[in-house]
Structure 1
Amino acid sequence: MTGRHAVPEAIPQESPAPAAAPAQEAAPGFSGRLTAPLLIGSLLNPLNTTMISTALVAIGHHFVSRLLLGIGTSAAYPAAMAVLRDESARIGRATPRSVLARLSFAALGSAAVGPTLGGLLVMAVGWRGIFAVNVPVALVAFGAALLWIPADPPRRRAADGGTPRLGLDPLGIGLFTAALTVLVFFLLDLAHPVWWLLAPFAVLTAALVRWQLRRPDPFIDLRMLAGNAALSRTYLRHGASYLLIYCVMYGYTQWLEEARGYSSGHTGLLMLPMSVAALVCSLLGARTKGIRGPLTLACVLLTVGAGVLMFLSGDTPLAVLLLAGACFGIPQGLIGTSNQAAVQAYAPAEVIGSAAGLQRTAQYIGAITASSLIALAYGQSAGDHGLHLMAGVAAVLGVLLIVLTVTDRALRGRT
């Protein structure tokens, strides 16, 4: 949503800050109490989507189908970005890069440890443990948000002196949700595509575009996206990158369990090098000022990792299996921090919340497409042939990502 908030006037200080004090340390705002609930809330969604990767086989033995509950957790990250935007407006300075780095690290860190944690939980208490772990974390985040996140700033009065309406777009939200739902159902079974679903998807998309272009305060600002090619390319790059990453999260772990015979716990431990590499590189990526360099390196490593997967088989040494996971951990850390920095740089400040939400939408469309690719490659059971087919497609996408990143002029010189 693109609700606007009033920007209050600067608050006068009683006494000037000492001349020797750094500007960022002297300025108020962005305290640990403000950022703590944002960090805790933001880690829930990536933690859930990655913990389940090593539990897919175990869960598959108990369901015919799965329901991923992500409405609340998906809202946490864009809401956090909107809170930081309001704090920037309140104190009159931009959000420090260190704060954005911590937010990115919370999401990437939880995503990185998800496969290993999920595997250990399944081994210790069963697959239900990966869902139960949400309860204490969510309660802590809820309590911290009530205590430490300030109330929303007052909204401007309407021209007639009345209370302005909330910047919500119920019809736009409904059309977007319906179109995305139809697309998800189409992508979930590409082995037996339901072609007629493309018709309602096209109708819903056309209706959404028409409505968003007519509304002065739309749910998705299509005019902004059309005029902001750098931001649109960021979403495309982010979605394609995570398509490859989730092929490993879901496809590689499934192959380890079904083709190599590892348990969920052992698979989680095999993914530990990937988790450690992602954690370390997310910290390095947060400290790097440039965007193009880390993204290019990440895309090259994604392609290399896909190439390694093409040569794995039932008798591949354990060391090579560990190396394959690590090849994807490094780009996972770099891509998340770099694309978050790109969204922060390219998106208008007043719509940073919805811009961050669209980044996550692109990411999970990539995840859904990855699950469809895995199903198409594996069929009824994961095997070497299916893994090689999936890896071949991933390698081609990796090359395209390299080209898309290297040729993007907007990334040159960006910090």
Structure 2
Amino acid sequence: MPEAAFDRRLIAPMVLGSILNPVNSSIVAVALIPIGAAFGAPPSQTAWLVSSLYLATALGQPVVGRLIDLFGPRRLFLISTTLVGVAGIVGTVAPSLGVLVAARVLLGIGTCAGYPAAMALLHSEAERTGRDSPAGVLTTLAVANQTIAVLGPLLGGLLIGLGGWRLTFALNIPLSVVAVTLGLLRLPKQVPGRRRDGLAQIDLPGMGLFAVMLFSLLLLLMNLRHWYLLIVTVAAGAAFTWRELRAGTPFIDLRVLGGNVPLVATYARTLVAYVVSYAFLYGFTQWTEESYGLSPLHAGLVQAPMFLIGIGVSVTVGRHGGVYGKLLLGAVGQVAACALMLGLSAASPIWMLVLVAVVFGIPQGANSLGLQNSVYFQADPDRIGSSAGLLRTFGYLGAIVASAATAAAYGSDASTAGMHELAWLMLGGSVLFLVITAFDRGLRR
């Protein structure tokens, strides 16, 4: 009897769903300065275009991931990708920065299902085929995300040159149409093994308390002057813990998560890695446009080597098993890139900017694949959707910290002094990532 093979019809919707968030993350990097000019808003205000998307997605990812665990990926995928199209329409016609931020919030919610759905489909296919080593598909997802990150800044610069920054939002309309069509045609209506009594398994109080805790924490990180939010965060966190430890079917099983030290360590590494990578994506790009004097298109071209090298690194290290080597390579690459960034100035030759982007490509490729592989093998298979969602949540926490740090470092303008201040923060995070990776013996297994 021939051995069952992975259903390759699933790859297209899996890949498209998972890249909806990265494309909207990277494309806005070159649009921040033009949007600020259009609405008379400084970098400290346009930073909300970054933070709002990650705020919505950080809240939504584990919630949608848990719903995928209970109901399967199809219906959540279709609802979410439809919202992406709606957000594209709102952003295209937005009359003010506030409406534009609202469109980014809707985009954040709409992009929640893609990645957890892909991980859930991987596990269901592993069960169906009897093969629990989807290295090729995991690498495909990582490379697809790297590729779209290459195209994001370049495409953003091209669209801005052709018709202005509004086209960067309009792009979501055709992407949504294609994603919904692929979901309808190719995603299974009922993944084997899913519970039919899913409604009874939804922990609404737990989800609500988690949302209050995370929302207050993220707002605090974005503005530390609002110290009272710390009280709200701690109170909501205590209530959330009390609820989850007593719930029959908790939203996040804290007992299981607390006993899974390798997975908790993966989440910690994700937080630190994303602080560094997104501080570079947004902070470095704004500096190249405002202080170095590059156009949005040329700023996107300078970023391109990072993603191209990242693709090459992902393809190369994806051929080998294990995650320790991948994450150690990424850790060393981060430290080297941040050190180089400290040597840049407005008088630096263009090749130095390209060199920094090239070196940043090493952690861009190695870390994303290493962290993704880690959560796939470390998570409880019955909660792979919510576990994958939490991985992205910690990544978005890092992105929000990076956005807040960028706004604080730059203030009213993206100066060289502010860029160096940001680079020191990134270097500290890189060293921390290196330490918690190098001494983690569990990764070597």
TM score, norm. by length of structure 1: 0.88
More moved, 116-125 vs 77-86 = 116-125
Give the corresponding residue for 2:33: 57
Q: 1:132 aligns with which of 162, 170, 173?
A: 170
Q: CA offsets, 1:196-226, max 9 Å, x none?
A: 1111111111111111111122111211221
What per-residue deviation string (whole Å, max 9, x for no partner) do you get for residues 152-206 of structure 1? 2466889xxxx5644322222222122222122212234xx21111111111111
Question: How far did residue 381 of structure 1 move?
Answer: 0.7
CA contact (8 A) 1:116 1:275 kept: no
- SS of 2:343 mapped into structure 1: coil
Partner of 2:4: 27
* Residue aligning to 2:217: 183
SS in 1 for 2:318: helix
From 14, 20, 38, the equivalent of 2:14 is: 38
Q: Is the 8 A contact 2:17 2:111 kept in 1?
A: yes
Q: CA RMSD in A?
A: 1.8
Matched residue, 1:23 = none
Tell me, in whole angstroms, the C-alpha distance in 1 between the residues paired with 2:110 and 2:136: 26
Q: Which amino acid aligns with 1:403?
A: V
Q: C-alpha separation between the residues in 2 aligned to 1:86 and 1:99?
A: 13
Equivalent in the alignment of 1:172: 206
Q: CA deviation at 1:242?
A: 1.0
Secondary structure in 1 matching 2:201: coil
In structure 2, the partner of 1:392 is 424
Residue 122 of structure 1 corresponds to 160
Structure 1 residue aligned with 2:124? 86
1:235 aligns with 2:267: yes
| Partner Cα separation in structure 2 for residue 88 and residue 48 of structure 1 | 30
Aligned residue pairs: how many?
Answer: 383
- Alpha carbons of structure 1 residues 157 and 177: separation in structure 2 relative to 1, 3 Å: closer
Report SS of the residue matched to 1:287: coil
Alignment of 1:68-217 (within 5 A): 68=104, 69-94=107-132, 96-153=134-191, 165-190=199-224, 193-217=225-249
Per-residue deviation at 1:84? 2.2
Q: Is the 8 A contact 1:115 1:249 kept in 2?
A: no
Tell me if the contact between 2:263 and 2:378 (Cα under 8 Å) persists in the aligned partners.
yes
SS of residue in 1 equivalent to 2:141:
helix
Q: Residue 285 and residue 121 in structure 1: after superposition, are their counterparts in 2 closer, same or farther (change >3 A)?
A: farther
Please report how far the alpha carbon of residue 108 of structure 1 lies from its aligned counterpart in structure 2 after TM superposition.
2.8
- The aligned amino acid for 1:76 is G
Q: Structure 2: which amino acid aligns with 1:216?
A: G
Match of 1:248 among 280, 285, 306: 280
Computing the radius of gyration from Cα coordinates, the structure with the larger value is 1
Q: Which amino acid aligns with 1:48?
A: N
Letter paired with 1:241? A
Q: What amino acid is the match of 1:27?
A: A
- Tell me the TM-score normalised to structure 2 length: 0.82
Amino acid at match of 1:287: R
Do 1:251 and 1:374's aligned partners in 2 also have CA atoms closer than 8 Å?
A: yes
Which AA in structure 2 matches 1:105? Answer: V
Tell me, yes or no, if the aligned pair for 1:155 and 1:164 is still in contact at 8 Å. no
Give 2:406's aligned residue. 374
Distance 1:288 1:121, change over 3 A: farther
Corresponding letter in the other structure for 2:17: G
Pair 157,38 (structure 1): closer, same or farther in 2 beyond 3 Å: closer
Instruction: Give the residue type in structure 2 aligned to 1:351.
Output: R
2:392 to 360, 364, 382: 360
Secondary structure at 2:248's aligned position in 1?
coil
Q: What are the Cα deviations for residues 339-378 of structure 1, in whole angstroms up to 9, with x where unaligned?
A: 1111111111111111110000010100000011111111
Letter matched to residue 217 of structure 2: L
Q: How far apart, CA to CA, are the structure 2 residues paired with 1:301 and 1:34?
A: 34
Identity percentage of aligned residues: 42
How big is the shift at 1:147?
A: 0.9
Residue 151 (structure 1) shift: 1.4
**Structure 1 equivalent of residue 65 of structure 2:** none
| Higher helix fraction (1 or 2) | 2
Instruction: Determine the C-alpha separation between the residues in 1 that align with 2:14 and 2:218.
Output: 29
User: Which amino acid counterpart does residue 404 of structure 1 have in structure 2?
Assistant: I
Inter-CA distance 295–221: structure 2 relative to 1 (3 Å threshold): same
Match of 2:362 in 1: 330
1:84 and 1:95 in contact (8 A); partners too: no
| 8 Å CA contact 1:112, 1:278 repeated in 2 | no
Tell me which amino acid in the other structure corresponds to 1:378. Y
Contact kept, 8 Å, 1:310 with 1:391, in 2: the verdict is yes
**Alpha-carbon contact 1:38-1:76 (below 8 Å) kept:** yes
1:67-89 deviations in Å (ceiling 9; x for gaps) = 22211212210112112222333
Rounded to whole Å, the distance in 2 between the matches of 1:110 and 1:211 is 40
Assess, with a 3 A threshold, how the Cα gap between structure 1 residues 229 and 156 changes in structure 2: closer, same or farther.
Answer: closer
Aligned equivalents of 1:119 and 1:143: distance in 2?
28
Q: Deviations over 1:74-126 (max 9, x none)?
A: 22101121122223333443252212221222223223432222222222221
Q: Secondary structure at the match of 2:293?
A: coil
User: Quick one: distance in 1 between partners of 2:354 and 2:201?
Assistant: 49
Alpha carbons 1:189, 1:376 under 8 Å: kept: no
CA distance in 2, matches of 1:379, 1:157: 50
Q: What is the distance in 2 between the residues matched to 1:119 and 1:363?
A: 25
Amino acid at match of 2:171: V
Aligned CA distance change for structure 1 residues 307 and 164 (closer, same or farther; 3 Å): closer
Structure 1 Cα separation of the partners of residues 356 and 381 of structure 2:
39
